[in-house]
A and B are shown apart, each in its own frame.
Chain A
């Protein structure tokens, strides 16, 4: 907790205040608020996946599954059972974290592509459970969820996610996670409890994915199983890799650019996905480490030496 940390918080609070003022003054119309909420949801998803994928090096493509748990559990709590949103949100996050724990443990034996396919499988199983359960509406999903999420919720959600994950990453735990990513055997030889850090990454990552799910469910009026298929997991993974694996700032910027690009292309639907995928391929070819891979943005705010802990490494 140094001075820089508080300056960062102060700057973001000012940003929050300005946007809130613009919203209250009806200068920003609903479409911009929708976009801000969607941005916030995507940022939470990407930053939390980055903890698993970018910092700990565990190749997970089941993030949409965790998101769906947060969305469904919170929606059941508020819409079906009538509890308040904060309680629903908390339960959603915790349920997702428990799922992260359950999925984290058995898959510890797996590495690389095999872990990826196993997490993809878990994500799909979760979706199929929702699909086959009529209590949560089956294919139609849950509709008529009250809109509770607003700019304040989403802003502080993003802030908490970023601060918590940044603090984990910058702590001893974070260095242990990065060492797991760089070389698992060496890390183990150095006395690092590899299992523990992998599970922590999965649990924390899932917790925030659940939070993103709960926010989006309580903003976009309804949820359905199709919103959480493996394509959604890919989408989140793309945010992370395009921005720069292992760089929180990069992830945030990548998410913002891609979300805005996707929105901007809405007017030419036929070419929307063609252009989107072209840009994806070109960025990967010309910036294989992501837009901000290996760049730690915080160094611009620092005097002198920068800490280099962003960036990707080649999987052995």
Chain B
């Protein structure tokens, strides 16, 4: 096992990890504000990917496809929140969770009915070039794009949440919804904005994912959605930098396990085992704050 080999595997791990991080950002955003594990997130991701598929087929380039997919998903996210989650704002968390599962099934199966269950190839819209760093170590342009997009979006998100007015409103709603309302914050608008941003991120992730792994199908969001969820929890769900760290960590661990001969079967097992260990020793994730329970 040479140094080059380890570096190459590290690059592989970071590249898959940044995809997980990108999806996890949306998860964590929504969770941070209304404490909902939005299981439909992975399916908004699939809608984003399909939107990108159609725009790319129509001949639009990467940037336009991304923008359209993000817009479509933002709208979808707002609609989902308005119709399915808002009526349940004061219900038990598990009820909203089941509703989220219901929305997830609904999107997947509407997808199967309208688009068919077969995977379709995603058109080439990015000229992929591979750069050799040294020796056998290579990195390609898409891997770089994904990493850059993820870091930039995370920074933007961090800025929005901590430096803007809507971000302040989001944090207020997250802290205490009732108090925020009393302070004159429009809670509904704030939550809608959160869903719009979170879902737009899922849309962007969907397009980028489909470019990197060029196929789309209605069930494509299930596994990445689950992995991103794990990544978000690893990092500390609700904490934006945590999503990035959790995603990268998960990606590197998965790749690390697979890079050992004969271990490729245990990739997910090891990933889940590490998740459980981290949760046991640090129950709110790596970046999570330990909230003291009030009596």
The residues of A with any CB-CB pair to B shorter than 8 Å are 53, 59, 106-107, 109-114, 116-118, 121-122, 124-125, 128-129, 131-132, 185-186, 230, 234, 237-238, 241-242, 245, 270-274, 276-278, 280-281, 284-285, 288-289, 312-315
Interchain CA distance A168-B265 in the complex, whole Å: 41
Extra contacts, 15 of them, besides A280-B102, A281-B84, A284-B99 (Cβ < 8 A), are A59-B94, A109-B283, A112-B93, A113-B233, A114-B285, A116-B37, A124-B269, A125-B272, A131-B265, A237-B101, A241-B98, A270-B113, A274-B109, A274-B113, A284-B102
Interchain CA distance A283-B247 in the complex, whole Å: 35
User: Taking each of B96, B108, B112, B283, which has the highest tally of chain A beta carbons within 10 Å of its own beta carbon?
Assistant: B283
A277 touches B103 (CB 8 A): yes
| CB of B237 within 8 Å of the partner chain | yes
B95 touches A288 (CB 8 A): yes
Contact with A along B74-96 (1 / 0, CB 8 A): 00000000001001101111111
Classify the interface of chain B: helix, strand, loop or mixed. helix
B106 touches A274 (CB 8 A): yes
A121 touches B109 (CB 8 A): no
Interchain CA distance A140-B230 in the complex, whole Å: 27
Interchain CA distance A131-B87 in the complex, whole Å: 41
A128 touches B98 (CB 8 A): no
Given known A113-B237, A315-B94, contact A280–B283 (CB-CB < 8 A): no
Pick the residue among B105, B230, B276 that contacts A273 (CB under 8 A): B105
B101 touches A234 (CB 8 A): yes
Can you give 20 A-B contacts (C-beta < 8 A)? A59-B94, A106-B280, A109-B279, A109-B280, A110-B280, A110-B283, A111-B283, A113-B31, A113-B35, A114-B279, A114-B283, A114-B284, A124-B269, A128-B272, A241-B95, A245-B92, A272-B109, A277-B102, A281-B102, A289-B92
Pick the residue among B91, B279, B293 that contacts A288 (CB under 8 A): B91
The 4 closest A-B pairs by CB, nearest first: A277-B105, A121-B272, A280-B102, A273-B109
Chain B: interface size category: 35 or more
Interchain CA distance A118-B96 in the complex, whole Å: 19
**Whole-angstrom distance from the CB of B144 to the nearest CB of chain A?**
31
B276 touches A106 (CB 8 A): yes
User: Taking each of B88, B113, B272, which has the highest tally of chain A beta carbons within 10 Å of its own beta carbon?
Assistant: B272
Return the chain B residue nearest A290 by Cβ. Answer: B95
**Whole-angstrom distance from the CB of A311 to the nearest CB of chain B?**
10
Which B residues touch A114, using CB under 8 A?
A: 233, 279, 283-285
A280 touches B98 (CB 8 A): yes
B275 touches A117 (CB 8 A): yes
Interchain CA distance A128-B91 in the complex, whole Å: 35
Which B residues touch A132, using CB under 8 A?
A: 265-266, 269
Which B residues touch A230, using CB under 8 A?
A: 226
**Whole-angstrom distance from the CB of B118 to the nearest CB of chain A?**
14
**Whole-angstrom distance from the CB of B223 to the nearest CB of chain A?**
11
The residues of B with any CB-CB pair to A shorter than 8 Å are 31, 35, 37, 84, 87-88, 90-96, 98-99, 101-106, 108-110, 112-113, 226, 229-230, 233, 237, 265-266, 268-269, 272-273, 275-276, 279-280, 283-285, 293, 295
Which B residues touch A116, using CB under 8 A?
A: 37
Given known A121-B276, A125-B273, A277-B105, contact A288–B88 (CB-CB < 8 A): yes
User: Taking each of A53, A118, A270, A271, which has the highest tally of chain B beta carbons within 10 Å of its own beta carbon?
Assistant: A118
Which A residues touch B106, using CB under 8 A?
A: 274, 277-278, 281
Which B residues touch A117, using CB under 8 A?
A: 229-230, 233, 275, 279
Given known A113-B237, A117-B233, A288-B91, contact A124–B98 (CB-CB < 8 A): no
Interchain CA distance A113-B35 in the complex, whole Å: 9
**Whole-angstrom distance from the CB of A288 to the nearest CB of chain B?**
4
A314 touches B98 (CB 8 A): no
Return the chain A residue nearest B113 by Cβ. Answer: A270
A237 touches B283 (CB 8 A): no
**Whole-angstrom distance from the CB of B10 to the nearest CB of chain A?**
24
A238 touches B283 (CB 8 A): no
Which B residues touch A274, using CB under 8 A?
A: 106, 109-110, 113
Return the chain A residue nearest B106 by Cβ. Answer: A277
Return the chain B residue nearest A286 by Cβ. Answer: B87
Interchain CA distance A132-B262 in the complex, whole Å: 11
B101 touches A186 (CB 8 A): no
Return the chain B residue nearest A184 by Cβ. Answer: B293
Which A residues touch B31, using CB under 8 A?
A: 113
Pick the residue among B226, B229, B275 that contacts A118 (CB under 8 A): B275
Pick the residue among B101, B226, B265 that contacts A238 (CB under 8 A): B101
Which B residues touch A112, using CB under 8 A?
A: 93
Return the chain A residue nearest B238 by Cβ. Answer: A113
Which A residues touch B226, using CB under 8 A?
A: 230
Interchain CA distance A121-B88 in the complex, whole Å: 27
Pick the residue among A107, A109, A124 that contacts B268 (CB under 8 A): A124
Which A residues touch B91, using CB under 8 A?
A: 284, 288-289, 314
**Whole-angstrom distance from the CB of A63 to the nearest CB of chain B?**
14
Which A residues touch B233, using CB under 8 A?
A: 113-114, 117
Interchain CA distance A184-B291 in the complex, whole Å: 15
Interchain CA distance A58-B241 in the complex, whole Å: 29
Interchain CA distance A222-B105 in the complex, whole Å: 26
Interchain CA distance A280-B104 in the complex, whole Å: 11
**Whole-angstrom distance from the CB of B273 to the nearest CB of chain A?**
6
A276 touches B93 (CB 8 A): no
Return the chain A residue nearest B230 by Cβ. Answer: A117
Interchain CA distance A67-B37 in the complex, whole Å: 25
Return the chain A residue nearest B288 by Cβ. Answer: A114
